[in-house]
Structures are given as structure tokens and as C-alpha cells.
Chain A
Amino acid sequence: MNPAVLIASVYVFALAAFLGYQVISRVPPLLHTPLMSATNAISGISLIGSLVLAGAVRNQLSAHILGFVAVTAATINVVGGFGITDRMLKMFGKRKPQANPSREAAK
């Protein structure tokens, strides 16, 4: 890594940290569990590093195997994380019961 790239990376890191602080402190406590599971799914972005490790090197079995395990783990993180976040947010999207006559009818 040459110094110019390092400096650019530090900029990105600092700005992302600032932006993250701004954005995330606006999330209400109501949604803290989905928030954690969503950010966790997003950090499954290490999947792209895993993909490169698993596939971009020729004939190096150890790298392939490490890459395979990493791709599996990261994919679990991404698919499971987004799936469960969506399940939770669906529940929060529901209207108040008064505004939903079908539930009254179901009783």
C-alpha cells in the first residue's frame, strides 16, 4: 500500500465514521435490534474479499479452502442477516389494530 492510497483510505474511514455516527444516532431504540442485525448483514460485505480469495488465485489449495469457508460464513451472514432483518421490520410495519378491521373480523 503506497502512502497516497493509505491517506485516501484514512479519509474514507474518518468520513464513514462521522457519517455513521450522524445516521445511526437517529435510529430510535425501537429499532435497535433490527439495526444491529442490519449493520451486521451489511458488514458481511467482507464476502467480496472472500470471493477474491476463493477464486482469483490459481492452484493454491490452502487459499481455495480458506476462501471457501470464508465465502460460506460471509454468505450466511449476508443472507441470514438481511432475511431476519426483513422479518423483524415487517412486524414493525404493521398498522395499529384499530385501523385493521380484518383482525377484528378474525376473532
Chain B
Amino acid sequence: MTLTSYFMEATYLIASILFILALKKMSHPETARRGMFLAEGGMFAAIVGTLVGAHIVTWVWIIAGLALGSIIGAWMAVSVPMTAMPQRTALSHAFGALAASLVGVGEFLVHANQMTGVTRGALGFEVMLGALTTTGSLIAAGKLQGVIAGKPIQFRGQNALNLIVFLSMTASFLYFWMHPEVVAFFYVMLGLAFVFGVMLVIPIGSADMPVVMSLLNSYAGLAAAATGFVLSNNVLIIAGTLDGFSGFILSVLMCKAMNRSITNVLFGGFGAVIAEATSNAGGVMREISLDDAAMQLAFANRVVFVPGYGLATAQAQHACRELGELLEGRGVTVKYAIHPVAGRMPGHMNVLLAEANVPYSSLYEMEQINPEFPSTDVAVVIGANDVVNPDARDNPKSLIAGMPILEVDRAKSVIVLKRGQGRGFSGLENPLFFKPCTTMLYGDAKSSLSHLAQAVQHV
């Protein structure tokens, strides 16, 4: 080994350590940002180390790629609004996975003849995971952006077709593994992986995206880890594995928050089952006027806001925070209850509220806030439906039975802000809306909230 190679290996070791430290610092919002500086430093060191130590002979392509990527990346980082964070993250998964699979293809082109069986196996995983994550993430991003219909796309024999594609992909992988000299099978495998990625995501509805995002995150990481096995590069293995596991942990958490298994999310096509199994929670919904609602809020001691994705689609975060601050100014204790799947990716709602300057100390997780609902005077549900549906807890026949919910119905009174009388994404009737303690305030969440704020000022 030459001196420059030692230098390169040293930077990789430093990068690995810095990445782990960075994730450790993510355990608290006050230290998280400093942690990211460490990770950025680690990444920079690894890049410099590679450029110095990897015997680079042509620089044109490298410089062009780095420049172009930096421009696009920086533009994305600055321009993307927080509401579009899930799409951006999905796109980012696509780019990362594409890079991993292209490195695999390149490795195949250059070194196919010198590869051992183990390397070929890792290469197969790298290319397959990378390719299916690329197209899968693109579809997810399209759905989240609204370019592709968010509804699950399903057809007869879908699971059978998926199985056939999956088996053919696996078969070509095995054939490539045994007979690397037959180049065609490598490319068949690659093509089928691209197709499989699409097939995997199209049957999944937008509301299940938190799980899909986490899974794709995990796949992208594992693809990078497989790259590390192909190149015998430890920093790739470490960084990829960290990413893979973080995605895996998040998918498990998201599934728990919806009380569903991963297979059910992937192959169940939940959003397609419309309203057949609803309980007949009949009754009347009572409407409340703005002034009455404002009065209720202004004279409450404890108010809990329960934001759902409807808050984000109505762009009502700022209006919500303003109302909250006004109430706090009157001595009302204001808290925000965040369900783990409120939003389109894990933790999305927290980011949206933080952007609207809601201090993170007012944001409460489900387990923390649920015991507090009985002593809450007014719970304000904004654009949330299934996550506050008491049927999930009380009605074992409900489609969402067993899903952990925010127990809003235990509050002394509930005001539900809703566009109209329609049902949530799952098409379930929500008995909460018919409870005697519940009143409905119809209209666009943003204008309702700012009118409420005005009315509170005049109380």
C-alpha cells in the first residue's frame, strides 16, 4: 500500500466514526444540528481521501458530476418547502439508490471477469436493491407530489404478477451468479428490478406513504451497504447499514402506529376498501359557530390541538400557531398532540409545526398526551380523522381496530375543524363526530383558524 492509500483508509475510518457520532447527537433537538456538522465533515473527509488515494486518472467526469450534483442538490435544499419534504426525501432515495446501482453496473462492466462468487452475489443484491428502490421511490415521489394519482392502483391478479416478476428477477440473479459469462442475464435482472420497484409501490395509497418511505429508505441504505461488500469498502458498509437499519426501525414504528403488518401495507391495498365495514355510528353532527368556538377556547384552561395531514394541505400551520399564541397570551395552556402517522413521512407533522415556529417543547407524542385528555377542556381536531377515531379502540370489527389513537373523545369538549361532512381516507365513519361533547366547525382550516384567532381577540 502506498502512503496515499493509507491516507484514504484513515479518512474512511474518521468518516465512519463521525457518522455514528452524528446519529448519536440526533437523540436531542439541541445537539442534532452540531451532529450534522460532524457528518458533513466526515463526508468531506471521505471524498477528499478518495480523490487523493484512489488513483484517479481522469478528472473531467468527476468534476462535472460533482459540480452538476452540487448545483441541483443545493437548489433542492434551498427551494423545497417543508410540506414537500416527503417528495423530496423520496427523490433523494431514488438518487442515492440510482448511484448505488450504477456503481454496480460499472463494476460489472469493468471487472466482471475477475469477480469471485461472493462478490457477484453482493453485486446482484446491490444492483437489484438499487434499481427497485430507484423506480419505487420515483413512483412514491410522484404520488406524493400528485403527479400520479394517490389512490392505490390495483387490478386482478396483481399479487400473482408481482410474484412472477419477483421470481423471474431472482432466477436471472441466480443464473447470472452461476454463469457470469452470459451477460444478458445481468441486464434482464436489472430491468426486472426496475419494473418490480414500480409494481411494489403502485398498489399503495398515499396515506400509507410513511411506511413506504421508511422501507425505501431502508432499501437505499442496504444497496449502499451491498456496494461496500462489492468494493470491500468498510465505510460504505457502515454508512449503508446505519441507513438501512434506521429505515427498518422507522418502518416498524410506522406499522405499529397503524396496527398493521408490513405485508399488509405492501400487499393489502388498504385505501381501496371503501366503507363496507363501517359501524353505523348514526346521529347528528352538531355545528358550532365561530364565535361560540372562540368563546369556548378563550375561557378554557387547557387546550390541545390535534393536527392531521389536512392541516398541512390547507397550509394552516401558521394560522394554528397564531391562534395558539393568542390563547397562551390569555393564560391558556396550549399543547399539540402529534400522532406518529400524522403526515406523509415519519415525523412530518413535527417539522411542519416547527417551521411555523411552534416550539418543540409544546409538541407531545401520543403516549405522553393521551393521559392528559380527560383534564383537557377543549381538544381542537384540525384535518385529522382516522387517528382520532374511537372505533379503533372500541369496535373490534372496525377496519382500523387496534390502531393506537389520540384519545380526543375523553376530552371535556371537542371542536373538529373539517372541510365538509365527508369521511377520511379510509372511508370510515368516525363516531367521534357524533358524540355529545363534539361540535363541528366547517370550512377551510386556514381561514377557520385565522377567523377564530380574530374572534378570540375580541372576546
A interface residues, Cβ below 8 angstroms from B: 1-2, 5-6, 9, 12-13, 16-17, 19-21, 23-58, 60, 62-97, 103
Query: Does B447 have its Cβ within 8 Å of any Cβ on chain A?
Result: no
What's the minimum C-beta distance from B187 to chain A, rounded to whole angstroms? 13
Q: Which of A6, A20, A67 contacts B241 (CB 8 A)?
A: A20
**B349-361 vs A, Cβ < 8 Å mask (1 yes, 0 no):** 0110011010111
Of A25, A65, A103, most buried by chain B (CB within 10 Å of CB) is A25
Expressed in whole angstroms, the Cα–Cα distance for A36 and B224 within the complex equals 15
Q: A9-B237, A21-B245, A49-B227 are in contact. Are A88 and B351 (CB under 8 A)?
A: yes
User: Is B242 in contact with A91, judged by CB distance below 8 angstroms?
Assistant: no
CB-nearest residue of chain A to B74: A79
- Pairs across A and B, CB under 8 Å, 20 listed: A24-B246, A38-B22, A39-B23, A40-B96, A40-B243, A41-B39, A42-B242, A48-B46, A50-B103, A53-B110, A56-B54, A57-B110, A67-B62, A67-B65, A67-B103, A68-B65, A69-B98, A70-B106, A72-B64, A80-B73
Q: Which of B46-91 contact A (CB under 8 A)?
A: 46-47, 50-51, 54-59, 61-62, 64-66, 68-70, 72-74, 76-78, 80, 82, 85, 88-89
What's the minimum C-beta distance from A29 to chain B, rounded to whole angstroms? 6
Expressed in whole angstroms, the Cα–Cα distance for A54 and B67 within the complex equals 14
Besides A32-B253, A46-B100, 8 new A-B residue pairs in contact (Cβ under 8 A), listed by A number: A48-B46, A64-B58, A72-B72, A73-B69, A76-B72, A76-B92, A78-B43, A91-B351
User: Is A30 in contact with B347, judged by CB distance below 8 angstroms?
Assistant: yes
Expressed in whole angstroms, the Cα–Cα distance for A35 and B224 within the complex equals 17
User: Is B249 in contact with A21, judged by CB distance below 8 angstroms?
Assistant: yes
Chain B residues with Cβ below 8 Å from A1 are: 116, 118-119, 122, 229, 232
What's the minimum C-beta distance from A6 to chain B, rounded to whole angstroms? 5
What's the minimum C-beta distance from B338 to chain A, rounded to whole angstroms? 7
Q: Nearest 10 pairs between A and B by C-beta?
A: A75-B69, A83-B77, A71-B65, A32-B347, A79-B73, A80-B73, A32-B346, A43-B243, A74-B99, A20-B245
Q: Which of B15, B246, B325 contacts A39 (CB 8 A)?
A: B246
Chain A binding surface SS class: helix
Expressed in whole angstroms, the Cα–Cα distance for A12 and B24 within the complex equals 18
Q: A36-B214, A46-B227, A82-B36 are in contact. Are A92 and B46 (CB under 8 A)?
A: no
User: Is A16 in contact with B96, judged by CB distance below 8 angstroms?
Assistant: no
Expressed in whole angstroms, the Cα–Cα distance for A68 and B60 within the complex equals 9
User: Is A70 in contact with B240, judged by CB distance below 8 angstroms?
Assistant: no
Expressed in whole angstroms, the Cα–Cα distance for A64 and B109 within the complex equals 11
Number of interface residues of B (CB under 8 A): 112
Chain B residues with Cβ below 8 Å from A69 are: 65, 98, 102
Of A5, A76, A82, A92, most buried by chain B (CB within 10 Å of CB) is A76
What's the minimum C-beta distance from A27 to chain B, rounded to whole angstroms? 5
User: Is A36 in contact with B250, judged by CB distance below 8 angstroms?
Assistant: yes
Chain A residues with Cβ below 8 Å from B72 are: 72, 76, 80
Query: Does B220 have its Cβ within 8 Å of any Cβ on chain A?
Result: yes
Chain A residues with Cβ below 8 Å from B250 are: 32, 35-36
Q: Which of B76, B106, B239 contacts A43 (CB 8 A)?
A: B239
User: Is B239 in contact with A45, judged by CB distance below 8 angstroms?
Assistant: yes
CB-nearest residue of chain A to B210: A32
Query: Does B394 have its Cβ within 8 Å of any Cβ on chain A?
Result: no
Count of A-B residue pairs with CB < 8 Å? 378
Query: Does B217 have its Cβ within 8 Å of any Cβ on chain A?
Result: yes
CB-nearest residue of chain A to B33: A89
What's the minimum C-beta distance from B323 to chain A, rounded to whole angstroms? 14
B interface residues, Cβ below 8 angstroms from A: 15, 19-20, 22-24, 26-30, 32-33, 36, 39-40, 43, 46-47, 50-51, 54-59, 61-62, 64-66, 68-70, 72-74, 76-78, 80, 82, 85, 88-89, 92-93, 95-96, 98-100, 102-103, 105-107, 109-110, 116, 118-119, 122, 213-214, 217, 220-221, 223-225, 227-229, 231-247, 249-250, 253, 325, 338, 340, 345-348, 350-351, 354-355, 357, 359-361, 363, 365
Of B64, B77, B93, B340, most buried by chain A (CB within 10 Å of CB) is B77
What's the minimum C-beta distance from B425 to chain A, rounded to whole angstroms? 20
User: Is B58 in contact with A58, judged by CB distance below 8 angstroms?
Assistant: yes
Expressed in whole angstroms, the Cα–Cα distance for A21 and B92 within the complex equals 23
Expressed in whole angstroms, the Cα–Cα distance for A30 and B253 within the complex equals 13
Q: A43-B243, A79-B77, A90-B33 are in contact. Are A26 and B27 (CB under 8 A)?
A: yes
Chain A residues with Cβ below 8 Å from B238 are: 12, 16
Q: Which of A27, A62, A91, A95 contacts B26 (CB 8 A)?
A: A27
Chain A residues with Cβ below 8 Å from B102 are: 50, 53, 66-67, 69-70, 73
Expressed in whole angstroms, the Cα–Cα distance for A54 and B231 within the complex equals 15
Q: Which of A34, A49, A62 contacts B233 (CB 8 A)?
A: A49
User: Is B232 in contact with A5, judged by CB distance below 8 angstroms?
Assistant: yes
CB-nearest residue of chain A to B46: A48
Chain A residues with Cβ below 8 Å from B88 are: 80, 84
